[in-house]
Amino acid sequence: MAELIVIGYDDPRVAEEAFGTVQDLQRDHVVHLNGLAVVSVDEDGRTHVDSSSRIVGVSAASGALWGAIFGVLFLAPGLGLLTGAALGGLVGRLSKSGVDERFRRQVGDLLGPGSAAVVIMASKVTDDKFAAAMQRHGGTVLKTSLSDEDERDLAEQLTGTP
């Protein structure tokens, strides 16, 4: 089961510190990442994304799934060739998988001008150790899950490989 965790912060510097903590937790095997990014919104309301290219063990399917979820959450143009019916189908599948309109709206509410969020997609999280390490940063935590079957189906839909 993949966990999608979004932690919102009023200060982008705190989000950057939390991002570093998540990377440390991956090195310590507390979390196994499929995707990690910091999304910040500048004072003009423009969204900026900083994702780590140093995530160990991310497969093409996981990368495609992460990109699609990220695009749907933040309406980023990174959805590439997914348009029309394909995008509608993906949004429908994500909604059935836990990334529904309510969750997307909550994420959007976290990100006002001058704020930031750490976005984490993980296949394994040792909850107590993760929470203890992240507690010092504070923030507002949103979390949802994708079942293994939904994650596999979505990855297959995105990559075209069974």
The pLDDT tens digits of the residues spanning 12-33 come to 999 999 999 999 999 999 999 8
Residue 29, SS3 per DSSP:
coil
Q: What is the largest CA-CA distance in the chain?
A: 44
Evaluate whether 36 touches 7 at the Cβ level (below 8 Å): no
Backbone angles phi, psi at 4, to 5 degrees: -110, 115
Residue-level pLDDT at 37: 87
Q: Name every residue whose Cβ is closer than 8 Å to that of residue 124 and which is 6 or more positions away in sequence.
A: 31, 32
Burial class of residue 65 in the structure, from the number of CB atoms within 10 Å of its CB (0-12 exposed, 13-18 middle, 19+ buried): buried
Q: Which amino acid is at 40?
A: S
Instruction: Give 88-102 pLDDT, tens digit per residue.
Output: 555 555 555 556 778
Confidence check: pLDDT of 46 > 60 = yes
Question: Distance between CA atoms of 107 and 118, rounded to whole angstroms?
Answer: 11
Tell me the whole-structure pTM to 2 decimals. 0.78
